[in-house]
């Protein structure tokens, strides 16, 4: 249920900006770009052997209006779901990773830290903290059996990992029980063993055992068939460090001092009533968020338990701020970001890039531009180096003015066993996957 043919066997892509530190003009639209890549794939007769056997939208069906939206295959009786795990190559065995166990959590952390998503130049690699992993993998109603590892039988070394967590995702007017698939990671030395397709089939089997038949996932590569293609944008908060480590570089006719001045932010936030979210705010934030997300074609169906888990601030994991009207005490606006550092590979001066990723933002009274600018100020104050955002929801409308620049990587969204008749524009998508 997740892209298996990227170099790292990973569901995402380490975002990295275009080469200049100054925002670039528009690229071609993401939809046009992915359409061209699909056409190139078809003309070359490129095969996606695994995905062509799966209930996902197929490239050959693009534009076929006779195919209905919705589930591609109907559920089978649970008694007919395969009861035994799929066979692994003989040196390996399945393990269920108990993320509450400190030793196991460290094993997973080390596997991901050394083998997970890197950028194309192998300069940066995602560095999920153990606190982040526990947050990401233990939402309300999670199943430990969906946290799947592969060990070497003899040494018991953990060499591969894949996860699912339960979610309710609304697709147009239908709320569908799904799993969100993430963290597909295979040790670098085992990439030729074709473990990823077996792992995808095994997590699919375990999800089916819970009577769930759809999934959502993302990948940095094009496989059959994206429901949306989005782009990462980056806002420098510490431009000197970003340039020093090769994340970005000086623009034409720009000096370092001019670049630092260009990205300078105010010392404090500007919106009256802007404060950190607290437990007592969960009902109000839930109402705001549900109302806001209702306008998008694909979005999560959050209740108060979900909001408490996903959005209540956790240090170095997720930050959420809101605007409480000084007059009425009404919660009118909300913004959030999560923390996902990257390891800096091969640099003598720096080891970590501290990155904030825009999460869910709701603007009703405070202009979105002002709200996100306050989020940038908070992130800068807390020593983040860069603030990243996808061009989904209403984000695109404010990115250029806030001095974000487009990155060179795209993120493709997929649904498993659910067909959509047309690809969505990023602005029609209300779903953020970690």
180 lies in some domain:
yes
Domain termination residue (choose one: 213, 229, 245):
229
- Known catalytic membership, residue 312: no
CB contact burial 352-377 (16+ within 10 A = b; e otherwise): ebbbbbbbbbbbeebebebbbbbbbb
In a domain, 3, yes or no: no
Is pLDDT above 70 for 35?
no
pLDDT at 13: 47
Q: Are residues 180 and 132 in the same domain?
A: yes
pLDDT at 402 over 50: yes
pLDDT at 20 over 70: no
Instruction: Select from 200, 229, 258 the last residue of a domain.
Output: 229
Q: How far is CA 211 from CA 136, 148, 164, 288, in A?
A: 22, 18, 14, 31
Residue 259 sits in the same domain as residue 212: no
pLDDT of residue 12: 44
Question: So what's the pLDDT on residue 50?
Answer: 85
pLDDT at 47: 64
Q: What are the tens digits of pLDDT across the range 101-129?
A: 999 999 999 999 889 876 667 788 888 99
* Cβ atoms within 10 Å, residue 295: 12
Angle, in degrees to the nearest 10, between helices 130-137 and 102-115:
100
Nearest alpha carbon to residue 371 among 416, 335, 347: 335
Same domain? 191 vs 53: yes
Considering 23-37, 110-124, 139-153, the range whose residues carry the highest mean pLDDT is 139-153
State both tokens at 290: 């549900």
Residue 428 has pLDDT above 90, yes or no: yes
What is the predicted pLDDT for the residue at 270?
A: 96
Residues 118 and 151 in one domain: yes
DSSP 376-403: HHHHHHTT-SEEEEES-TTTHHHHTTTT
- Same structural domain for residues 201 and 244? no
In a domain, 421, yes or no: no
**H/E element, 406:** strand 405-416
pLDDT given for residue 346 in this prediction: 87
Alpha carbons 11 and 117: distance in angstroms, whole number:
8
Dihedral Cα 167, 170, 171, 176, nearest 10 deg: 50
Residue 338 falls inside a structural domain: yes
1 falls within a domain: no
In the predicted structure, residue 432 carries a pLDDT above the cut 80: yes
Res. 32 pLDDT band, cuts 50 70 90: low
**Quick check: is 43 in a domain?**
yes
25 versus 158: the higher-pLDDT residue is 158
H helix or E strand, kind and range, residue 80: none
Percent of the chain at pLDDT exceeding 90: 74
Q: How many domains does the chain have?
A: 2
Query: What is the per-residue pLDDT across 158-208, written as a single tens digit (0 to 9) for each?
Result: 999 999 999 999 999 999 999 999 999 999 999 888 899 999 999 999 999
Q: Are residues 136 and 218 in the same domain?
A: yes
Q: Is residue 40 predicted with pLDDT exceeding 90?
A: no
CATH, residue 139: 3.40.630.170
- Which pLDDT tens digit goes with each residue over 355-364? 999 999 999 9
Token pair in block for residue 64: 């076929």
Count CB atoms within 10 A of the CB of residue 166.
17
Give residue-wise pLDDT tens across range 212-223.
999 999 998 888
Q: Which of 88, 399, 415, 434 is catalytic?
A: 434
Please provide the average confidence, as pLDDT, over all residues in the chain: 89
Over 90: is that where the pLDDT of 375 sits? yes
Q: How far apart are the first and last CA of the chain?
A: 15
Residues 219 and 236 in one domain: no
Residue 34 and residue 46 in one domain: yes
pLDDT at 70 over 50: yes
Identify whether residues 348 and 253 lie together within a single domain: yes
Average pLDDT over residues 289-302: 98
Show the tokens assigned to 240. 């000197």
Residue 156 falls inside a structural domain:
yes
User: pLDDT band for position 25 (50/70/90)?
Assistant: very low
Q: Does residue 349 form part of some domain?
A: yes
Confidence check: pLDDT of 51 > 90: no
- For the chain, give the number of residues: 434
Residues 211 and 236 in one domain: no
pTM: 0.90
pLDDT tops 70 at residue 16 = no
Domain final residue pick, 194, 229, 264: 229
Same structural domain, 259 and 208: no
Residues 196 and 267 in one domain: no
Domain that holds residue 350: 232-408
In this model, does residue 253 exceed pLDDT 60?
yes
Mean predicted confidence (pLDDT) in 325-350: 94
Helix (H) or strand (E) run with residue 373 in it: helix 368-381
- What string of DSSP letters covers 5-55? -STT--SS----B-SBSSPPPPPSPHHHHHHHHHHHHHHTT---TTGGGSS
């Amino acid at each position: 249920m997740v892209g298996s043919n990227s170099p790292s066997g990973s569901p995402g892509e380490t975002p990295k900006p275009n080469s200049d530190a100054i925002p670039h003009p528009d690229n071609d639209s993401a939809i046009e770009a992915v359409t061209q890549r699909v056409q190139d794939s078809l003309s070359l007769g490129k095969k996606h052997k695994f995905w062509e056997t799966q209930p996902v939208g197929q490239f050959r069906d693009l534009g076929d209006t006779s195919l209905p939206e919705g589930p591609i295959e109907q559920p089978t009786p649970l008694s007919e779901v395969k009861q035994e795990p799929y066979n692994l190559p003989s040196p390996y065995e399945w393990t269920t990773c108990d993320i509450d166990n400190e030793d196991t959590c460290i094993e997973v952390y080390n596997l991901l830290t050394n083998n997970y998503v890197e950028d194309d130049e192998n300069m940066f690699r995602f560095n999920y903290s153990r606190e982040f992993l526990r947050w990401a993998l233990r939402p309300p109603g999670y199943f430990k059996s969906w946290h799947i590892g592969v060990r070497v039988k003899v040494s018991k070394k953990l060499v591969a990992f894949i996860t699912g967590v339960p979610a309710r995702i609304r697709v147009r007017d239908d709320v569908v029980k799904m799993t969100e698939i993430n963290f597909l990671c295979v040790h670098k030395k085992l990439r030729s063993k074709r473990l990823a397709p077996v792992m995808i089939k095994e997590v699919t089997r375990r999800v089916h055992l819970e009577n769930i038949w759809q999934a959502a996932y993302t990948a940095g590569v094009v496989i059959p068939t994206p429901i949306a293609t989005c782009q990462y944008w980056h806002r420098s908060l510490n431009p000197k460090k970003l340039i020093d480590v090769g994340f970005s570089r000086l623009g034409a006719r720009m000096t370092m001092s001019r670049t630092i001045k260009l990205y300078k932010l105010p010392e404090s936030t500007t919106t009256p009533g802007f404060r950190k979210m607290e437990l007592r705010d969960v009902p109000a934030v839930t109402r705001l968020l549900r109302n806001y997300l209702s306008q998008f074609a694909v979005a999560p169906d959050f209740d108060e338990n979900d909001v408490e888990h996903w959005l209540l601030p956790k240090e170095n994991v997720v930050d959420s701020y809101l605007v409480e009207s000084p007059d009425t005490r009404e919660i009118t606006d909300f913004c959030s970001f999560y923390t996902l550092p990257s390891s800096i590979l091969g640099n003598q001066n720096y080891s970590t890039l501290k990155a904030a990723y825009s999460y869910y933002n709701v603007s009703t009274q405070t202009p979105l531009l002002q709200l996100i600018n306050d989020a940038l100020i908070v992130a800068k104050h807390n020593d983040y180096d860069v603030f990243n955002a996808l061009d989904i929801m209403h984000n695109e409308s404010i990115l250029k003015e806030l001095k974000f620049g487009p990155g060179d990587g795209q993120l493709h969204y997929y649904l498993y066993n659910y067909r959509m008749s047309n690809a969505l524009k990023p602005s029609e998508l209300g779903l953020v996957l970690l």
